[in-house]
Structure 1
Amino acid sequence: MKTSIKGRRALITGAGSGIGRAVAQRLSELGCDVVLVGRTGATLNETAALCPGATKTVTCDLTDESSILALVGYIRATGGLDILVNNAGIVQSGPLEGISTEEFDAVMATNVRAPFILMRETLSLLKASPSPEIINVCSVVAHEGYPNQSAYAASKHALCGLSKSFANEVFEDGIRVHLISPGGVLTDMVAKVRPEIVGTPMILPEDVADAAEYLLTHRSDAVCDEIRLHRVTKAPF
């Protein structure tokens, strides 16, 4: 049975474009107050213009812990939190031998370290919510070894493991931790990394928003831990 999330407060990282923008717009349409987080104020403002409900935009460097702590301080001071969507991510493609340690660390900082800090620091806020939810946007790369994506795959494997362990830690607190793992999504990031699939059937950011909507509006005794989305060009399973 579908439940309402109207009036809930949601924080979405990477909200300036792509999946983050689509999820933010959808949650706003469902009546959530959304906090849009990203690196660039201009793109966040563009997302805010698409959201029919109450929005706040916060620029944040997710590779900098002090910036994340300031973000959480703002959330704490302005109304708490019900829904956390860790969506921001970067990719470094190419053969492993050509990826520098600095490039590897940058991917891990955005894709794993930032969600870790955000989940840790917002935990007390989520415990105070009547229906707390966390969605971590992962990738099918966490389950399948794609060539030339070793750093990205490592980060998504790590996010998957982090999410599973944390889900069991906070289950008794009523906090549900979900994963959405899409394949090739029609975004600028994917177009740069896999230009060969542009022009073929692609997952849309709105498809990921559909998955997020399902997870957040079907809170019952049945728990959906992970939703995987594949392009129709890939054989099932």
Structure 2
Amino acid sequence: MTNSINHFRLEGRRAVVTGAASGIGKAIAATLAEAGARVVVLDLNAEKAAEAAREMGADAVGIGCDVSDEKSVATVFATIAESGACEILVNSAGIAHVGTVESTSVEDFDRLFKVNVRGTYLCMQAAVVQMKRKQKGVIVNLASIAATSGLPDRFAYSMTKGAVLSMTLSVARDYLESKIRCNCISPARVHTPFVDGFIAKNYPGQEAEMFETLSRSQPIGRMGTPQDVALLALYLCSDAASFVTGVDYPLDGGFFNLR
């Protein structure tokens, strides 16, 4: 009888994870490495990327990459191809912003678009070229519940995550014949340093109270963790999800259906 857990193994597969020196991206990269993947940690900070890769074992490498810059992405993926094509891509690099349409400056709008949308596009474009040659591949993008829900004060962020969701569906449809699967994960609030910084900046002296309030906004009663996201990413990257493509997975603690 086949051992079902083997479907989650990724031995020898080259997995590229963006924004992987910290937070959700790092948790995903580490989890894929534990499953046997040869992980490439991409991050704007090359030193932190290399440090994170060292923590993930001898098969992991860390490379500095500005995902919003076409030349930077092209150079990095050409380097990756020299030692084996990218078989798994997880687009986790992203930045957040708090604001309405009135309070969002043009500079902030463009900054979020460059990283969250353009960065996802450039990395998918580079990876798909390599995946087509092998006639197989998996892409997982990090979207957000903000893509499909009207969250307050998240105008520009919601715009970018809506674009990520749409690009995911488009790539999934366009590359069916190349056997490239493409899905996205839409988390609710995940406990990261951004959340702690937001609370400290906007609610000084009320940190514990606000943390509890934000935790309760998910019906399950807590925020998500980077590891929650990483385990779903592992499933989507593995053969266990071989029948899954063009899907937006809410990882929301009941946010949509149980409020």
What TM-score results when the alignment is normalised by the length of structure 1?
A: 0.92
Q: C-alpha offsets along residues 77-133 of structure 1, whole Å, 9 cap, x if unaligned?
A: 221110001110001212321211111011011001111111112212112336410
Q: How does 1:215-226 map to 2 (within 5 A)?
A: 215-217=236-238, 218-221=240-243, 223=245, 225-226=247-248
Measured after TM superposition, the shift of residue 42 of structure 1 is: 3.3
Alignment of 1:173 onto 2:186: no
Alignment of 1:118 onto 2:131: no
- Please say which of residues 151-160 and 216-225 is displaced more in the overlay: 216-225
Q: How does 1:1-237 map to 2 (within 5 A)?
A: 1-2=4-5, 3=7, 4-129=9-134, 131-193=136-198, 198-199=211-212, 200=215, 201-217=222-238, 218-221=240-243, 223=245, 225-231=247-253, 236=258
- Please say which of residues 198-207 and 147-156 is displaced more in the overlay: 198-207
The 1:180–1:147 alpha-carbon spacing in structure 2 relative to 1, beyond 3 Å, is same
Q: What is the one-letter code of the residue matched to 1:182?
A: P
Q: Report how many residues are paired.
A: 237
Measured after TM superposition, the shift of residue 70 of structure 1 is: 1.1
Partners of 1:220 and 1:233 in 2: how far apart?
A: 27
Q: Is the 8 A contact 2:18 2:43 kept in 1?
A: yes
Measured after TM superposition, the shift of residue 53 of structure 1 is: 4.7
Structure 2, unaligned runs of 5 or more? 201-206, 216-221
Q: Is the 8 A contact 1:215 1:224 kept in 2?
A: no
Partners of 1:150 and 1:222 in 2: how far apart?
A: 30
Partners of 2:255 and 2:77 in 1: how far apart?
A: 40
Q: Is the 8 A contact 1:138 1:181 kept in 2?
A: yes
Structure 1, unaligned runs of 5 or more? none
Partners of 2:157 and 2:198 in 1: how far apart?
A: 11
Q: CA RMSD in A?
A: 2.1
Q: Is the 8 A contact 2:25 2:93 kept in 1?
A: yes
Q: What is the one-letter code of the residue matched to 2:112?
A: V
Q: Is the 8 A contact 1:10 1:84 kept in 2?
A: yes
Partners of 1:47 and 1:164 in 2: how far apart?
A: 31
Partners of 1:45 and 1:96 in 2: how far apart?
A: 38
- Please say which of residues 45-54 and 72-81 is displaced more in the overlay: 45-54
Q: Is the 8 A contact 2:52 2:62 kept in 1?
A: no
The 1:224–1:154 alpha-carbon spacing in structure 2 relative to 1, beyond 3 Å, is closer
Q: Is the 8 A contact 1:203 1:230 kept in 2?
A: yes
- Please say which of residues 39-48 and 157-166 is displaced more in the overlay: 39-48
What TM-score results when the alignment is normalised by the length of structure 2?
A: 0.84
Q: C-alpha offsets along residues 135-175 of structure 1, whole Å, 9 cap, x if unaligned?
A: 00110110111111100000000110111111100011100
- Please say which of residues 55-64 and 226-235 is displaced more in the overlay: 226-235
Q: C-alpha offsets along residues 198-217 of structure 1, whole Å, 9 cap, x if unaligned?
A: 34321000000110111122
